[in-house]
């Protein structure tokens, strides 16, 4: 599957930059391209200047709203970010139209942080514009949720998250949710932590995107997971996870063994990988809440067998009992067995509901401060309409 990636705001731009890097890796290591174009959109010149892999020309690093912001951002006011995206959206559309590989693009992925200003405000507006212009291509969002300390100390951030999630859900074909807090424990220093988080956000998509683009026969799976499978799976709230286990040394032909322990060990490693993928989902959720799912097994072809595929399918079905499951195998790699899992069309995300509730509380508090009507205890569904839309 080939993606066009558009990063909005500082966070979105850096993740788009990571996608551009990943495409270079795919090109060098596997001789294929998985990203047709990577673009960063921002109201802040400094943020655009801090990227490494996205081309530095004005068609790939796009400054918007310079008349209003002077090139210094919107200060977490996502309503302004949305307004600027409406006014300057033609710059982005023109850049996409000029992309040489647009006809090869299977889908468009728009990335942003939910808590900021430019990205949070512009992602849904830009998604709507893209869907109106390119009706034949699905447009997905990847939205990064804030760290826990941001939720506690920055009241405005929680409000931004609520409005961003609502607006994106209304227009995007699917919304990947990524919880920063899930990864913060993995590094100590702030700079390395953020870089590692960006890497870990993008890494699970690597094999999924590569599998359907292979051209060498020996790397094409028995059941190829291609763009059609992915597009049919992605819908609504979506999460992704990735797990890996070392495989035993592959024996040479004259070293073949029928020992039951070897076969059992391979199967057990596969089950452990899918369990790790579910444990490391980009947002903690209950797999039984998903209505669509897929998994991709990536391993040396010698390490894959029907018993392993059977166990992986059974394990995922046990966890996501209500989901329609698609799967594929990808005979790549030398020393590891990797499993990527995507759960989509989540019908009940506790984290999302909590953000909506907090956004409603924020609005109610402001109304009380301004002498508005006392809201009292209102149901979430009744109050949902009171969360502003950025569209």
* Same domain as 138, residue 87: yes
Distance CA 5, CA 12 (A): 10
* Same domain as 122, residue 9: yes
- Asked if residue 356 belongs to a domain, the reply is yes
- Asked if residue 208 belongs to a domain, the reply is no
pLDDT along the chain (391 residues), means of 10: 97 97 96 97 95 96 92 90 95 93 96 95 97 96 92 85 95 96 66 84 96 94 95 97 81 51 68 92 94 96 89 94 95 90 92 87 74 50 72 87
- Asked if residue 35 belongs to a domain, the reply is yes
* Same domain as 281, residue 161: no
Can you give the pLDDT at residue 243?
94
Q: Per the structure block, which two tokens stand in for 176?
A: 């990947």
Would you say 318 and 386 are in contact if contact means Cβ atoms under 8 Å apart? no
CB within 8 A of 51, min separation 6: which ones?
13, 14, 17, 40, 61
Of 157, 188, 203, which one is at a domain's C-terminal end?
203
Tell me how crowded residue 130 is: count the other CB atoms within 10 A of its CB.
23
Q: How many H helices and E strands in the chain?
A: 14, 10
* Same domain as 360, residue 340: no
* Same domain as 117, residue 29: yes
* Same domain as 370, residue 306: no
DSSP string for 207-226? HHHHHTT--SGGGS-SS---
Distance CA 222, CA 71 (A): 51
- Asked if residue 228 belongs to a domain, the reply is no
What predicted TM-score, i.e. pTM, was given to this entire model? Answer: 0.91
CB within 8 A of 382, min separation 6: which ones?
none
- Asked if residue 326 belongs to a domain, the reply is yes
Can you give the pLDDT at residue 93?
95
Question: In what side-by-side order are the strands of the sheet with 292-298?
Answer: 61-63, 35-42, 3-8, 107-113, 139-145, 174-179, 236-246, 336-344, 292-298, 324-330
Element (H or E) spanning 86, and its range? helix 78-97
Can you give the pLDDT at residue 185?
59
Collapsing DSSP states into helix, strand and coil, what is residue 154?
Answer: coil
CATH number at residue 165: 3.40.50.1440
Can you give the pLDDT at residue 264?
57
Distance CA 167, CA 104 (A): 28
Would you say 73 and 43 are in contact if contact means Cβ atoms under 8 Å apart? yes
Q: Per the structure block, which two tokens stand in for 258?
A: 């029928």
DSSP string for 155-187? HHHHHHHHHHHHHHHHH-SEEEEEEGGGTGGG-
CB within 8 A of 379, min separation 6: which ones?
none
* Same domain as 187, residue 50: yes
| Domain assignment of residue 367, given as a range | 352-384
Can you give the pLDDT at residue 194?
83
* Same domain as 57, residue 106: yes
Can you give the pLDDT at residue 362?
79
- Residue 104, strand partner residues: none
Can you give the pLDDT at residue 375?
46
CATH number at residue 269: 3.30.1330.20
Distance CA 82, CA 41 (A): 12
Q: Report the number of distinct structural domains present in the chain.
A: 3
Can you give the pLDDT at residue 53?
97
């Amino acid at each position: 599957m080939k993606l066009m990636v558009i990063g909005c705001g500082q966070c979105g731009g850096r993740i788009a930059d990571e996608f551009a890097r990943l495409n270079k890796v795919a090109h060098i290591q596997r001789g294929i391209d998985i990203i047709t174009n990577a673009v960063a959109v921002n109201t802040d010149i400094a943020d655009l200047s801090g990227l490494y892999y996205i081309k530095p020309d004005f068609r790939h690093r796009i400054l918007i709203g310079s008349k209003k912001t002077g090139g210094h951002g919107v200060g977490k006011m996502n309503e302004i970010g949305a307004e600027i995206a409406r006014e300057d959206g033609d710059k982005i559309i023109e850049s996409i139209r000029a992309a040489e590989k647009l006809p090869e693009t299977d889908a468009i992925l728009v990335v942003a942080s939910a808590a900021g200003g430019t990205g949070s405000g512009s992602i849904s507006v830009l998604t709507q514009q893209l869907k109106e212009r390119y009706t034949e291509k699905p447009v997905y969002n990847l939205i990064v949720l804030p760290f826990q300390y941001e939720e506690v100390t920055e009241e405005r951030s929680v409000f931004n998250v609520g409005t961003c999630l609502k607006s994106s859900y209304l227009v995007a074909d699917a919304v990947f949710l990524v919880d920063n807090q899930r990864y913060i424990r993995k590094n100590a220093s702030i700079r390395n932590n953020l870089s590692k988080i960006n890497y870990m956000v993008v890494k699970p998509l690597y094999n999924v995107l590569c599998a359907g683009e292979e051209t060498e026969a020996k790397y094409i799976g028995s059941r190829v997971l291609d763009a059609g499978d992915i597009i049919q799976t992605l819908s609504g709230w979506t999460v992704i996870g990735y797990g890996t286990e070392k495989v035993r040394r592959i024996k040479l032909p004259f070293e073949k063994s029928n020992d039951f322990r070897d076969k059992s060990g391979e199967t057990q490693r596969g089950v452990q990988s899918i369990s790790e993928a579910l444990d490391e989902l980009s947002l903690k959720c209950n797999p039984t809440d998903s209505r669509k799912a897929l998994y991709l097994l990536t391993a040396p072809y010698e390490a894959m067998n029907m018993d392993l595929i059977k166990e992986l399918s059974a394990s995922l079905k046990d966890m996501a009992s209500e989901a329609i499951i698609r799967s594929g195998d990808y005979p790549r790699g030398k020393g590891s067995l990797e499993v990527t899992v995507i759960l989509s069309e989540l019908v009940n995300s506790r984290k999302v509901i909590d953000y909506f509730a907090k956004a409603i509380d924020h609005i109610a508090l402001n109304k009380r401060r301004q002498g508005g009507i006392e809201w009292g205890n209102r149901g979430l569904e009744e109050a949902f309409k009171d969360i502003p839309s950025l569209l």
